[in-house]
Amino acid sequence: MLSLVQQPRPTVSAEETASSKDSAPPNIVLIVCDNLGYGDIEPFGSQLHRTPCLNRMAKEGRKFTHFCVTAGVCTPSRASFMTGCYSQRVGMHDNPRDGLVLRPVSPYGLHPEETTIAETLKQAEYKTAIIGKWHLGDQPSFLPTAQGFDYFFGIPYSDDMTARDNWPPLPLMHNESVIEAPADRDTLTKRYTERATEFIRQHSEEPFFLYLPHAMPGSTPHPYSSADFQGKSRNGPWGDSIEELDWSVGEILETIKAEGIAEQTLVIWTSDNGAPLAKELESPTRGSNQPLPGRGYTTAEGAFRVPTLMWWPGHIPAGTECDQLVTCMDILPTAAALAGTGLPARSIDGHDVLPLMLGDDGAQSPYDAFYYYHQDQLQAVRKGPWKLFIPLTSFSRHPYFKKGKENSLILFNVQTDFACEQNVADQHPEIVKQLLRLAEVARVDLGDTDRKGAGQRTAGHVENPTPRVKTAP
């Protein structure tokens, strides 16, 4: 039977993995926006938002048009970025208390026995920082500083989780301490950017990993931005926040260049999932996933496939595009290969995709199959260009099936049919059979509704969780 997981392998040096010009492992900057859609920036087709810095990043770097996350919502997606695993493997897809994502004062969080990308890179003596939104547990044993990060400045969960339902005011934290409550959301992007550029300058002469998970455009109906950007876009608060995020990446890249470390620094810019979209789908006020179909928070392509740019002067070929399937689970194993560390002791699902990043001739996606879960329910399977939605008798949310209706197989070629308008299941019965077999591989390993998988591990859990609040000096 096929195996989903990549087993631990011997240490591989960066020199053996990449055609690197330098012996030192590269710095890595991972920028992840919140709920930003495929069609929200100019390099991916937006004609509404002005994103000159991202345009320049695309011109100097590489665009990934089939980069997928592992969930349509933030907690499970972010768990995959950090661990290289499907969230179903590490228990961050669902729990009895919180539902789709972790809520404030949850007893659950990323298990301390899981190995994060920060812990992996610490093995190679990287300095590590997270500046932004964590959302993998707000209890002390789940916070970033307990998961491999030397430094944390940001919020522990989503910016819409403000004081209500016995939740505390939204906390802005420095390491384990709350320094502002409620956090001034208007200035989060600006302050995150200032802290990020300061971190880069401080550590420009040693290897560093900077994780910058922005809070914007976020989950509120009206995203936040600083005074310099408020009211300046052509798309209200959503556009204002997008254009400030564009400014932010420009500041990051300019700082890297000014420090003379551009050829030693890999920058990845992406989103944690697709845009939620407005109630009226034609309205751009809560983002665009065009030309992909569907809303965020689902298993549609518009939820799982996100705009992604990678930049590493002298290594990643400028002005190029990759249409092979790459996922957020690949960041950790690729970083491990670049840094010359081994993979985590526990099995992971991602792959080293450096050949695709560097544009090597003939490089292909390493995925035999990719799985689309909604919480604990397997809804779709992808292999190559083919994405199959599996018939379901019950579901809480689905981008195509209707409750109370007979729902049959749906097969799309997501390479040629970006909008997923042509169901070709009847024309490709052998492809359907193959994908159904792969679905069973996932069920055995990662589980399915009311069925536990053999490869699933548990989330972390604490008794008597406490809120993160500002204490008196």
Q: In this predicted model, what pLDDT tens digit does every residue of 344-376 receive, in sequence order?
A: 999 999 999 999 999 999 999 999 999 999 999
Q: What is the mean pLDDT of the chain?
A: 95
Q: Where are the alpha helices (DSSP H) in 173-329?
A: 188-202, 236-258, 301-304
Over residues 203-232, mean pLDDT: 97
Q: Is 74 a catalytic residue?
A: yes
Cα three-residue angle 59-334-457, rounded to 5 degrees: 130
Average pLDDT on 262-275 reads 98
For the residues of 281-296, what is the DSSP string, one character each? TT--TT---TTS-S-T
Give the pLDDT mean for 384-398.
Answer: 96
**Any idea which residue has 């002298």 for tokens?**
314
Tell me how far apart the alpha carbons of residues 242 and 238 are, in angstroms, rounded to a whole number: 6
Residue tagged active-site, from 49, 135, 203, 398: 135
Model pLDDT, residue 9: 37
> Is 118 in contact with 335 (CB distance < 8 Å)?
no
* pLDDT for residue 165: 85
Give me 281's structure tokens. 């789908």
**At 435, which amino acid appears?**
L
Q: What is the mean pLDDT of residues 63-86?
A: 98
Q: Is 85 a catalytic residue?
A: no
User: How far from 321 is each of 103, 324, 326, 334, CA to CA, in Å?
Assistant: 37, 9, 12, 18
* Contact residues for 323 (Cβ-Cβ < 8 A; gap 6+): 65, 66, 415
When pLDDT is averaged across residues 138-143 and rounded to a whole number, the result is 98
The three-class DSSP label of residue 226 is coil
Summarised one tens digit per residue, pLDDT across range 28-41 is 999 999 999 999 99
User: DSSP label at 143?
Assistant: S
Catalytic residue, candidates 74, 85, 322, 420: 74
Q: What is the pLDDT of residue 10?
A: 37
Write the DSSP symbol of residue 75.
H
Structure token pair of residue 369:
């199959």
* Three-class DSSP category at 334: helix
Distance in angstroms (rounded) separating the CA atoms of residues 127 and 167:
33
Whether 36 and 306 have beta carbons less than 8 Å apart is answered as yes
